Structure 1
Amino acid sequence: MTEAPNPAHMTQDPIAGLEGVVAATTSLSDVDGQNGILILRGKKIEDLAGLVSFEEAVMHLWQDLDVAKVSSMVAAFGQARLAAFEVVPLLEAAPPTLSVYERMQLGLAALPLSEALPAPIAISGALPVFLAASHRIAHGKEPIAPDETLGCAKDLLRMLTGEVPPKTHADALNRYLVTILDHGLNASTFTARVIGSTQADMRQAILGAMGALSGPLHGGAPGPVLDMIDAIGAPENAEDWITATLARKERLMGFGHRIYRTRDPRADVLKSGLRQLGQENPKVKLAEDIEREALAALKKAKPDRTLDTNVEFYTAVLLDAIGIDRSLFTPLFATGRTPGWCGHVLEQQQNGKLIRPASQYVGPMPE
């Protein structure tokens, strides 16, 4: 039996989208949209991404949570990848109509959980395996077994391509995965916390978060950035293309953010990663030209609004530069965000409070 909401604590005017409503306390991340600052467990994102591995960042995020008490997160995630590969035959037998993302959800739903590995490690370690295997299955290729001795980023690229990636590519993917590890109480993270608050198991909470992420208003922007870059084609086309797009009242993909009222700090972290890959990829220079023209055009067209580069813009260029197909951008985002989701579920369950907001009835009354 659930407890009825206390009328004394109810507001009369619901806030659309819960904008600005504080619904949880967390030690995991803080998003300062006014000043363009993202903090992960006491450190700015630029002091982590590009400087530590994905595993080290996860250990940092999970500190003070029981799950972090392992001697080596690389070894723990490696063990989790091996366990997850046992589920891959189920993915191969699934209907061919399933997308990579849906196949990943199927693998997670079927993933055995045991006391041998804490659930957050088992789940976080499994998703790279399900992503790579699902992509290869979709292209008629045999899935590749994980190498438990490698770091997550390096092994993910190896499982996708069949070849050990260059260090620069593994470093770039590590940078991206750290950048997206956690980002406040967004829609998918809030979904995970709501499900976790019911004391449902971790797997159900992450499946729910993946469902929320699949919506185009949450997780779908990086792919269209590449579509925009392809459509522009060359630096000399950028100004006219952008001007025409804004004249049609269409959105420029990769610019503006619901939270940030200045530049998204993750954009600069990823842009720095691109510079370390070199300038051989022509899309890198083209992207910088497009960014310059887009920011100038947005400032002219919308002088009353601050619309700056967001994380999706350089996410698209960085991932494309290391050979990640644009169809994998959302699955890869889910893979990098999963440890953050898990951390929020653990926090919520330690709190022990069921999330149960009230609603305001606006329907007809009985006669």
Structure 2
Amino acid sequence: MEVQKGLKGIVAAETMISHVDGEIGQLIYRGYEIRELTKSYSFEEVAYLLWFGYLPDPEQLSELKTEMKRNRKLPKNMVDIIDLLPPSMDLMSVIRTAISSEGGNFEYEWEPKISQAIRLTSLVPTIIAYRKRQIEGRLFVQPRDDLDHAANYLYMLSGSNPIVAHVEALETYMILTLEHGMNASTFSARVTVSTESDMVSGVTSAIGTMKGPLHGGAPSGVIELLNEIALVGDAEKVIREKLLHGEKLMGFGHRVYKTRDPRAIALKTKLQELVGEDKWFDLAMEVEEIAIRVLSVLKPGRSLYTNVEFYAAAIMKAINMDTDLFTPTFTASRMVGWTAHILEQSENNSIFRPQSKYIGALK
């Protein structure tokens, strides 16, 4: 029996949710190119597309926004649980624990429902903001009904009205990270619900998987690079020295995309619209241009381009978001993809039951 470690190259499911083509640098949600979606649609509209299979009309969009706003408030038992967690517990573990407790509040029995997906997605930003401000010794900022998903998230974190350019950049990033095929956390969610377990259990499995640094790791290396370049004031000098010393240039290259990362292109397009709005956006644009030029000379033929984490780091710097919020924010957006896959799994379910090959001793 041939073993494919990590199930690499094994097709385990058919999906209509998204398509990732690393060879040509393509990401599609429900038939739409990702750059078309980030250019023309909001977070809520693209979430609707992934959950329902089509883009909403104005009335459907209004209904979704109303339902998401109605589900932002944390239930008392969830607040009590978060309050009891030790201050040393990382945010991803807090999210996992808080979401797990949600299973006792609503009827989440098999089969999963879109209303459950909407509720779970709506709760995560509030969980993050509540815990972040709690750890910092600041009062919790209640969600606002007049703000959409991304803007409200920034408002709850900071306690002040978010800058429009920051909202637009964060919303674009969140749309780009809603979904990305059969990655480790999505597979984890589908495996769990394939046993006819509930949506909360599937999402909890996915959060636990996302927590691992090989999957949901923060772009701290990119932020360090941008900080160093800002301090030195010479991007080419910093980049050239790192490459000549054999260091990896963080934010360049991707294990899936063999050409330009379509998510990075979409983020860059958005930031080009915001040139002059924030110094970190401007610096990122400058660094990318210089880095690709230097890489083409020092590492010819490698086709190393910026990945989504490069521009994500610029956004996190611009909105003053600590690195410990990166993976939780990634999780807040990916909730949509996880729940869409859970719903799809339930429509034509077959339990995942791979085999293993015994290589131990025989006594």
Report the TM-score, using the length of structure 1 for normalisation. 0.89
The question of whether the paired residues in 2 share the 8 Å contact of 1:85 and 1:129 is answered with no
1-structure distance, mates of 2:81, 2:133: 14
The question of whether the paired residues in 2 share the 8 Å contact of 1:179 and 1:266 is answered with yes
The residue that corresponds to 1:36 in the other structure is 25
The residue that corresponds to 1:91 in the other structure is 82
TM superposition shift of 1:27: 0.6
The residue that corresponds to 1:266 in the other structure is 263
TM superposition shift of 1:235: 7.3
Offset from partner CA, 1:56-82 (integer Å, 9 cap, x none): 1111111259xx988611111111102
> Which secondary structure does the structure 2 equivalent of 1:122 belong to?
helix
Q: Is structure 2 residue 35 aligned with structure 1 residue 55?
A: no
The question of whether the paired residues in 2 share the 8 Å contact of 1:54 and 1:174 is answered with yes
TM superposition shift of 1:296: 2.8
Please, which moves more after superposition, 103-112 or 26-35? Answer: 103-112
Q: Is structure 2 residue 233 aligned with structure 1 residue 242?
A: no
2-structure distance, mates of 1:283, 1:171: 15
1-structure distance, mates of 2:282, 2:147: 32
Q: 2:329 aligns with which of 332, 341, 345?
A: 332
Report the TM-score, using the length of structure 2 for normalisation. 0.90
The residue that corresponds to 1:82 in the other structure is 73
> Which secondary structure does the structure 2 equivalent of 1:38 belong to?
strand
Partner letter of residue 44 of structure 1? Answer: E
2-structure distance, mates of 1:159, 1:282: 24
Please, which moves more after superposition, 35-44 or 191-200? Answer: 191-200
The residue that corresponds to 1:289 in the other structure is 286
The residue that corresponds to 1:323 in the other structure is 320
Shift in alpha-carbon separation, 1:161–1:316, aligned structure 2, 3 A: same
The residue that corresponds to 1:107 in the other structure is 98
Shift in alpha-carbon separation, 1:198–1:248, aligned structure 2, 3 A: farther
Q: 2:9 aligns with which of 20, 36, 41?
A: 20
2-structure distance, mates of 1:83, 1:285: 37
> Which secondary structure does the structure 2 equivalent of 1:90 belong to?
helix
Offset from partner CA, 1:281-319 (integer Å, 9 cap, x none): 333333223222322333334334322111000011023
Matches within 5 A, 1:123-272: 123-233=120-230, 237-272=234-269
Offset from partner CA, 1:25-63 (integer Å, 9 cap, x none): 111100111111110011011111142111111111112
Offset from partner CA, 1:322-341 (integer Å, 9 cap, x none): 33222211100000000100
The question of whether the paired residues in 2 share the 8 Å contact of 1:235 and 1:286 is answered with no
Q: Is structure 2 residue 362 aligned with structure 1 residue 365?
A: yes
Please, which moves more after superposition, 26-35 or 109-118? Answer: 109-118
2-structure distance, mates of 1:84, 1:229: 40
The residue that corresponds to 1:118 in the other structure is 115
> Which secondary structure does the structure 1 equivalent of 2:19 belong to?
strand
TM superposition shift of 1:236: 5.2
* Runs of 5+ unmatched residues, structure 2: none
CA RMSD in angstroms, aligned pairs only: 2.4
Please, which moves more after superposition, 254-263 or 87-96? Answer: 87-96
Give the number of equivalent residue pairs: 353
2-structure distance, mates of 1:175, 1:284: 14
1-structure distance, mates of 2:192, 2:210: 15
* Runs of 5+ unmatched residues, structure 1: 1-11
Shift in alpha-carbon separation, 1:361–1:161, aligned structure 2, 3 A: same
The question of whether the paired residues in 1 share the 8 Å contact of 2:219 and 2:313 is answered with yes
2-structure distance, mates of 1:363, 1:296: 51
Identity of aligned residues (%): 38
1-structure distance, mates of 2:125, 2:16: 26
> Which secondary structure does the structure 2 equivalent of 1:31 belong to?
strand
Please, which moves more after superposition, 252-261 or 90-99? Answer: 90-99
Please, which moves more after superposition, 180-189 or 165-174? Answer: 165-174
The question of whether the paired residues in 2 share the 8 Å contact of 1:55 and 1:74 is answered with yes
Shift in alpha-carbon separation, 1:182–1:95, aligned structure 2, 3 A: same
Please, which moves more after superposition, 261-270 or 163-172? Answer: 163-172
1-structure distance, mates of 2:294, 2:61: 50
1-structure distance, mates of 2:254, 2:75: 35
The question of whether the paired residues in 2 share the 8 Å contact of 1:193 and 1:205 is answered with yes
